[in-house]
Homo-oligomer: A and B are copies of this chain.
Amino acid sequence: MFNFSYQNATRIVFGKDQISELAHLVPKDKKVLLIYGGGSIKRNGVYQQVVNALAGVSFVEFAGVEPNPAFETLMRATTLVKEQGIDYILAVGGGSVIDGAKFVAAAAVFNGDPWDILAKGAKVTTAVPLGCVLTLPATGSESNGNSVVTRYETQQKLAFSSELVFPQFAILDPTVTYSLPPKQVANGVVDAFVHVMEQYLTYPVNAPVQDRFAEGLLQTLIEEGPKALAEPENYDVRANVMWAATMALNGLIGQGVPQDWATHMIGHEITALYGLDHAQTLAIVLPALMQQQRATKGAKLLQYGQRVWQLQHQDQERLIDEAISHTRQFFERMGVPTRLADYGIKADAVDKLVDKLVQHKMIKLGEHRDITPEVSRSILQRAL
């Protein structure tokens, strides 16, 4: 196990009817920005529950944070925070809204051009405190310090990370996910699954607690994901998916172990060029990356096949083949196709995507930094 330093101070308030806890969680003496996305929270009743719970709290609303939140949109929210003297942010939505709120929290009190936080990795030294109500289990943003923001005018999708933008609290009420479109449910399960894999499928460092936690989350997503599609109002299923997605990227399972975020990096380029959903790109890249990297990831691929899929072949290569094919089938069963061709993307895309990776300096990816542009090209060819 590697050395690590880990803190996660987000309070998780989990369960039915917990949005009313906002009355105790949001400080009464603060002026609050209530930030959210499209109109779904108005249709499904979440908005009204939030407003009811904020009785007695002074708040201003900012609506319209889009999926893959736009720098331009968030800068408008930042201006609002400054103009209105807002000193607390409440994000209500999925990962995009929460990611966006984190950027606003940092940008509003940043000394300089907030773009530098994303483009130059300028250090965040203070931030407006924030809390959140999660409506879509997927990204883990509700209890981590990560934020991804897109600047559409320059086609840049950039990230920053800071302990100062961990939400102080996250309310997770599984019932609010009942009304999600099946596609978003499926995307969320795939996203969470791949988050776990990127902290797990590397090489063994004798870290059995982390391995078994990761395997437990994968097994849970495999069991519960299809049920969430089949029985949208099964509370336990929704609760298990929600808790697994949070645990998948709250940092815990990745402590002390190597990580490989190449799937996300390659996937980001597919979204940027072809507009696919984030999770769709992950479902395309991961099986191809597993196949391409089967030698360096061999020990963990065997462990994954044996423990997560209960495969028992004597022939190790065959076991790895089946582990990869089970992974692909799981994504397909969730309704997320796993080939570029399934989305109408043809072989000429490979060069374009590799060029973008080079342009964005994504030239040494993976736990061994051995996923060069040529390796990425092979991965993409395997994904056609």
Q: A216-B216, A255-B14 are in contact. Are A209 and B243 (CB under 8 A)?
A: yes
**Within 8 Å CB of A240, what residues of B?**
1, 206-209
| A70 within 8 A of partner (CB) | no
Task: Give the total of A residues in contact with B, Cβ under 8 Å.
Answer: 41
| A224 neighbours in B (Cβ, 8 Å) | 208
- Do A209 and B217 touch (CB < 8 A)? yes
List the B side residues contacting A219 at CB < 8 Å. Answer: 208, 212
Q: Which of A3-11, A176-184, A336-344 contacts B (4 or more CB under 8 A)?
A: A3-11
Q: Mark A1-24, 1 if CB is under 8 A from B, else 0.
A: 111111111111111101001000
Q: Can you offer 23 A-B residue contacts whose CB atoms are under 8 A?
A: A1-B240, A3-B14, A3-B16, A4-B14, A4-B15, A5-B12, A6-B12, A6-B14, A7-B169, A8-B9, A14-B255, A14-B256, A15-B256, A207-B240, A207-B243, A208-B220, A209-B243, A209-B244, A209-B247, A212-B215, A212-B217, A212-B220, A213-B213
Does A105 belong to the interface (CB within 8 Å)? no
CA gap between A278 and B4 in the complex, in Å: 31
B243, A1: Cβ atoms closer than 8 Å: yes
B-side contacts of A4, CB under 8 Å = 12-15
Complex interface bits, A240-254 against B, C-beta within 8 A gives 1, otherwise 0: 100110010000000
- CB proximity to B under 8 Å, residues A207-237: 207-209, 211-213, 215-217, 219-220, 223-224, 236
- CB of A282 within 8 Å of the partner chain: no
Cβ contacts under 8 Å, A220 to chain B: 208-209, 212
A251 to B8, CA, bound (A): 13
Counting from the closest, the 7 A-B pairs by CB-CB distance are: A3-B15, A212-B216, A7-B11, A9-B9, A206-B236, A208-B220, A1-B239
Q: How far is the CA of A208 from the CA of B56 in the complex (A)?
A: 39
List chain B residues, Cβ under 8 A from A207. Answer: 240, 243
Given the complex, which residues of B lie within 8 Å of A2, measured CB to CB?
Answer: 15
Judge whether A216 and B209 touch: CB under 8 Å: yes
10 extra A-B contacts, CB within 8 A, seeds A1-B15, A2-B15, A209-B217: A1-B236, A3-B15, A4-B12, A4-B13, A4-B15, A7-B11, A207-B243, A209-B220, A213-B213, A239-B256
